[in-house]
Amino acid sequence: MYLATAAVIGVFPILSVGLITGRAGIITLCQLSFTGIGAWSVAALNAAGYSLPIGLLILLGGLAAVPFGLLLGLASLRLRGINMGIVTLMFAAAAAAYFQLYPLPGLSAGKVVDRGAPFESDSAFFWLSLTVLALVVGVVSLVSRSRTGTSWLVVRTSERGAASLGLPTAVAKLTVFMVGAAVSGVGGALLIAQTGVVSGDSFGILPSIVVFTLAILFGARFIEGAILGALASVVVPQLLLAAGIPNDIGTLIFAVTALPALRTGYGMAEALRARLARRSNNNPAPDGRRESKRSISRDRSRWRQGTEPVHTDDRVLPTAVEATPALSILDLSVQYGSVRALDGVTISVPSRSVVAIVGPNGAGKSTLVDAVAGFLPGYTGEVRLNGTNLDGWQAHRRAQAGLRRTFQQVRATADLTVQQYLQLAAGRRLDRDEVDAVLDFVQGPTARSLIANVDVGSRRLIEIGGGLVSEPAVLLLDEPAAGLPSSESELLGERISLMPSVFKCSVVVIEHDMTLVHSVCDEVTVLNFGRVIATGSPKHALSDPLVVSAFLGAE
Ligand SMILES: Nc1ncnc2c1ncn2[C@@H]1O[C@H](COP(=O)(O)OP(=O)(O)OP(=O)(O)O)[C@@H](O)[C@H]1O
């Protein structure tokens, strides 16, 4: 019963790593420090003579760790990858030093934490621990399914991708650290309630690294992975003990077996789930639709006519172009060191229009999209959306305001289904008809497909669909046809030209495919060496001698 309780308590810090590293992709090597903080706080309350009910002590143990989680969350706003690993390791070292200097209160006096009347027996305490675990897992899974919780997965894939969906990466990182710390802290409170007194050594650097290793090895992003990890942490040392093998060999076994998971980023639970998802993806959905484009393509004609709006509201083509441009870029300049990537670029995108920005490689197109969408804060000039000045606004705020973008390199989160991604991009509840309609429009895969299982071209279409369901004022498409075969690129061109009427938005397309530009755009702006060298209708602008010379390198 004692070992079973230890295994239950062991789930907390492993699950906590599963949230921070497994879900949000941030390395954390100090999860047992949070456990120690939880235990220390409960010990301090006990030593001070407060006799609080066990439920309250557990809650306080969790809450005590939250400010420290926030602190590390703040560090993660500036640091990434191995640097974050080092900072969390330093935090673990500092916490371990603290626990050495200031042992858990009551430890030396043997003042054990009192669990209270109904939980004095080991079996009662086991059931209490299991109940607390079930509650924590319930809360964590609710939070994980919320918009904030889903944003943890998006941040893991790409911070820029998250911002482009209107998700503030700072909120995602801070919340995941605070929730992770609380989960670990609850484990600490239970641990000290189980053992009565705990030595600070239990929360040292090495045990923290073992917890990290177990979380990666078993895929603690999912609860079954955290449970398997905790079971292994209890069972393996017992087996080694029974076989007369030194306990440290267990750590070595975990380290070696975790190597493949560290390489791929997928632990056992994740690999198992991915396999099951692939299997179910190969089976037809209950509604008979497979993840095949052929079944969707039959609907081409209705969209070609442009008669069927995605929403059943009054989306119709306006009779006159509205006076205020949807997007105004005024005298925009960007300097990268000695390279002037953009030099006084002025572009006006009329309401409900399709405007292309073209230019040879290195002309400044991507820089322009990055600056306009808020990913390059250091520009000079002005960006206005429907007359509102966006300068100084962060990328996620611009996205929330209706300025959406897609990327040359797709960033749709592989762990989500297409429907979940669209939901997140929309920032509101979408009903299934709405999801299916937009997927039909962009010729995307079915709503239930896992993004990990669809090809790059389809992911690009999903990203475009995500932009559209967010009801943007302006959608910036960075090379949307890249990677699509020419027949699909042609079809995408048709859809782009329909976007202003169907989705009431303006579209800015960065594209190298001149056939597509000619067929879908109302206006073209040509950049070369960061300057606008021509603007006007595609026919007029693309035949300008300056433009021909810029593209062909001839007089
Ligand atoms: N981070 C950076 N640091 C320094 N120079 C950069 C950086 N990013 C882009 N540049 C330079 O800025 C100029 C514009 O680059 P940009 O990528 O915006 O062009 P582009 O038109 O999008 O090219 P492509 O069609 O190849 O994507 C180029 O000279 C490029 O080398």
- pLDDT at residue number 281: 58
Q: Which of 366, 369, 531, 551 to mutate to test the pocket of ligand 1 (most atoms within 8 A of CB)?
A: 366
Quick check: helix, strand or coil at residue 230?
helix
- pLDDT at residue number 539: 87
Ligand 1, residue 339: give the atom nearest the CA.
5
Bridge partner residues of 526 (DSSP): 358, 534
- pLDDT at residue number 200: 81
Q: Which of 343, 345, 367, 526 to mutate to test the pocket of ligand 1 (most atoms within 8 A of CB)?
A: 367
Domains by residue range for the chain, with CATH: 1-204 (no CATH), 327-402+472-552 (3.40.50.300)
Q: Which two tokens stand for residue 286?
A: 């209950």
Q: Report the separation in Å between the CA atom of 485 and the middle of ligand 1, taken as the mean of its atom positions.
A: 26
Q: Report the separation in Å between the CA atom of 528 and the middle of ligand 1, taken as the mean of its atom positions.
A: 11
Q: Report the separation in Å between the CA atom of 525 and the middle of ligand 1, taken as the mean of its atom positions.
A: 17
Angle formed at CA 20 by CA 163 and CA 466, multiple of 5 degrees:
30
Angle formed at CA 256 by CA 250 and CA 258, multiple of 5 degrees:
100
Quick check: helix, strand or coil at residue 149?
helix
Q: Report the separation in Å between the CA atom of 154 and the middle of ligand 1, taken as the mean of its atom positions.
A: 26
Q: Report the separation in Å between the CA atom of 377 and the middle of ligand 1, taken as the mean of its atom positions.
A: 16
Strand duo 403-405 + 474-478: pairing? parallel
* Residue nearest atom 25 of ligand 1, based on CA coordinates: 361
- pLDDT at residue number 549: 83
**Taking the CA of residue 156 as centre, how many other CA atoms within 13 Å lie in the half-sphere pointing to its CB?**
23
Backbone phi, then psi, for 404, in 5-degree steps? -105, 155
- Where does 337-417 show beta strands of DSSP type E? 339-349, 354-358, 380-385, 388-389, 403-405
Terminal Cα distance for the chain, rounded = 86
Ligand 1, residue 408: give the atom nearest the CA.
27
Whole-complex ipTM? 0.95
Q: Report the separation in Å between the CA atom of 407 and the middle of ligand 1, taken as the mean of its atom positions.
A: 14
Burial of 297-332, coded b for 16+ CB within 10 Å and e otherwise, reads eeeeeebeeeeebbeeeeeeeeeeeeeebbbbbeeb
pLDDT, one tens digit for every residue, the chain (555 residues): 889 999 999 999 999 999 999 999 999 999 999 999 999 999 999 888 888 888 999 999 999 999 999 999 999 999 988 999 999 999 999 999 999 888 888 777 777 787 777 888 889 999 999 999 999 999 999 999 899 999 999 999 899 999 999 999 999 999 999 999 999 999 999 999 998 878 888 898 999 999 999 999 999 999 999 999 999 999 998 898 898 888 788 888 888 888 888 887 788 888 888 778 667 655 544 433 434 443 334 344 444 444 444 443 333 344 444 568 999 999 999 999 889 999 999 999 999 999 999 998 889 999 999 999 999 988 999 999 999 999 999 999 999 999 999 998 888 888 899 999 999 999 888 888 899 999 999 888 889 888 988 888 889 899 999 999 999 999 999 998 887 788 888 888 889 999 999 999 999 999 888 888 888 899 999 999 999 999 999 888 888 888 888 877 765
Global pTM value: 0.83
* Residue nearest atom 12 of ligand 1, based on CA coordinates: 341
Q: Write out residues with Cβ below 6 Å of ligand 1.
A: 336, 339, 341, 359, 361-367
- pLDDT at residue number 51: 81
* Residue nearest atom 26 of ligand 1, based on CA coordinates: 361
Q: How far apart (Å, rounded) are the C-alpha atoms in residues 199 and 212? A: 20
- pLDDT at residue number 266: 80
* Residue nearest atom 24 of ligand 1, based on CA coordinates: 361
Q: Report the separation in Å between the CA atom of 476 and the middle of ligand 1, taken as the mean of its atom positions.
A: 17
Ligand 1, residue 368: give the atom nearest the CA.
18
